[in-house]
Chains A and B, each alone.
Chain A
Amino acid sequence: MKITLKKFKQLIEDNDFSYLDELAFEARLITEKYFGKNIDIYIPVYISNFCTNDCIYCNFSINNNKIKRQRLTLNEIEKEFIILKNKGFKEILILSGGDEKDFELVLNSVLRAKKYFDKIGIEIFSCSLEQYKKLKAAGVAYVTIYQECYNKKIYNSIHRSGNKSNYYFRYNSPARVLKAGIRGIGMGVLYGISDPISETIALAEHISYLRKIYWDRDFSISFPRIRDRKTDYYIPDKLLAKIIFLFRLLFNDITLNLSTRESSKFRDGMLGLGINKISAESSTKVGGYLKKQSGQDQFLISDTRNLKAIKQTLKNKGYFPVLKDYSAVFN
């Protein structure tokens, strides 16, 4: 089943959960058709938590005086890479805070990471076209960059300083990533800071538009939602599930990703029901895999199972844990 953007809007706006099981059924059929029994697995690596932004929802915010700022050295980063490679990971997502001074460190981390991993994604501040071209040349397979919030008024009220305070520069980041020739783009909104229905529609429109131009790229969507603090727009599991089912029906082929920010119960339940990619054994602390104790998580991890346990869960549920579904040749 494939639905149009118009139908997607109708179904997300109807506030009706009576047919959730039918959506789940269709989402499962489509996910299986496109991805078979495969579930891709990756792990994030935080290399710096220095930041110039003041995002109210993030522990790395420049206004957070309690956090110890840390920037790993390249050698420390490499040590983390070796730990993760030895655990069996083949895909990593390198993350930094919002401090643009970290660009060179990110670039050098990517070059180091190539020694150990086939697929390297980055999730950092919004970059210029020239910077994205440099990242592409270094071997970046994909960039994850969330708009966080499409509502401009709310966006501006919660992003008052730093790189992120320019709404349009942020909004046009995915287009710059793709224009730079990078193969993959990960997009999303941060659920909890604005009306989830209109945010979901804006995200769907943004992706639909970009796919018409960059038809030969790999798109993915993540579904972060604020769970560790009170918000005006908290979305319940049922609504998040409905959003994920509908995205699967709208974009049959693109990767839908659920991180360890979500609970093991929700993640296990959503496997194959739209979701075809998950993170495992994540730490959102800088130096988290080196077991440096002083850092602070960017946000709280809910699903703390290790890779082995996640793989076993997948197998028990009839899924094939896929650590490698990419070739370094594509870089």
Chain B
Amino acid sequence: MDLLKIGDYEFNTRLLLGTGKYSSIDIMIETVKAVKPALITVALKRVNIDNPDEDIFIALQNIEDIILMPNTAGAKTAEEAYKLAHIGKELSGERFVKIEIHPDTEYLLPDAIETFNVCKKLTREGFYVMPYINADLVLARRLEEIGCVSVMPLAAPIGSGRGLLTYEFIQMITDKLNIPVIVDAGLKSPSEAAAAMELGAAAILVNTAVALSENPIAMAKAFDMAVTAGRKAYKAGIIDTVSHARASSPNLDFLL
């Protein structure tokens, strides 16, 4: 079995889902049930347990066999993310936390400095920390060194649907890191998820492309299949690219 291993957890799927932007809780729940993702991330700022009928967190907790990964979206500093991580742990009872710190609302790009600082603190406290980062190899390595269980580099800005803009940088990260690299944010279509998996990503997290699709359930299934296809291709061994036809290789008879 080709299992996804994060911390001491094993998953038989490599698709992770977000829960924002859906038109209703019902559609979000049906989508989650349809693909049973490895982890489901929920923004803690949206959790509204005072109004259980309208709370996405409570609705998700009622689904069997899924693990919730609270995220710190909305946080602009390490301190805010730290506090949210602890609230998330209380609520979910899990060690997983997805660190998202984006002070700039326009592109929602992650703040590398604040992210690193909070990850350092949380890993020491035993959290399974999964930071959302720019596709930055050095930062990814630093985060691996301090004990993050995964890194989540972006394909493109959150929600932008611009696809794998960071292709070559994702390749560097997947080549060099020992922890699972989960490509997060910016994907538009399943083919891009497959491409990221072919680069050696361990998994994909997708939200907008599914939630805003005309048929989220069908789109989630399509992503699930693409992720599987990409993974199988990666495992099978993808041929190297050559810039010329084989037949035109130089004649090396003189070496004989």
Chain A interface (Cβ within 8 Å of chain B)?
32-38, 88, 90, 183, 215-216, 218-219, 252-254, 315, 318-327, 329-330
Contacts and interface: CB of A to CB of B under 8 A. Distances in A.
Nearest to A317: B23
Nearest to B48: A324
A324 B22 contact: no
B25 to A, nearest CB: 8
B47 A324 contact: yes
Interface in B198-235: 208, 211-212
Interface string B32-60: 00000000000011111011001000000
Given A88-B51, A215-B103, A330-B80, 6 more contacts: A36-B159, A218-B105, A321-B54, A325-B74, A329-B83, A330-B74
Given A33-B208, A218-B105, A254-B105, A324 B46 contact: yes
Contact of A216 (B22, B23, B24, B103): B103
Contacts, number: 79
B117 interface: no
B76 interface: yes
A324 B52 CA distance: 12
B7 interface: no
B103 A320 contact: no
Nearest to B25: A320
B212 A32 contact: yes
Contacts of A88: 50-51, 54
A327 B48 contact: no
A36 B211 contact: yes
19 contacts: A33-B160, A36-B22, A36-B211, A37-B23, A37-B211, A88-B54, A90-B48, A183-B76, A253-B105, A253-B106, A315-B24, A318-B23, A321-B54, A322-B46, A324-B47, A325-B74, A326-B45, A329-B80, A329-B84
In this complex, the interface size class of chain B, counting residues with CB under 8 Å from chain A, is 20 to 34
Contact of B161 (A33, A315, A321): A33
B84 A37 contact: no
Given A218-B105, A329-B87, A33 B51 contact: no
Contacts of A325: 45-46, 74
Nearest to B82: A329
Nearest to A215: B104
A38 B87 contact: no
Contacts of B45: 324-327, 330
Contacts of B48: 90, 323-324
Nearest to B103: A216
Nearest to A329: B83
Most chain B beta-carbon contacts within 10 A, residue among A33, A215, A318, A321? A33
Most chain A beta-carbon contacts within 10 A, residue among B46, B51, B103, B212? B46
Given A323-B51, A324-B48, A36 B74 contact: no
Most chain A beta-carbon contacts within 10 A, residue among B80, B84, B105? B105
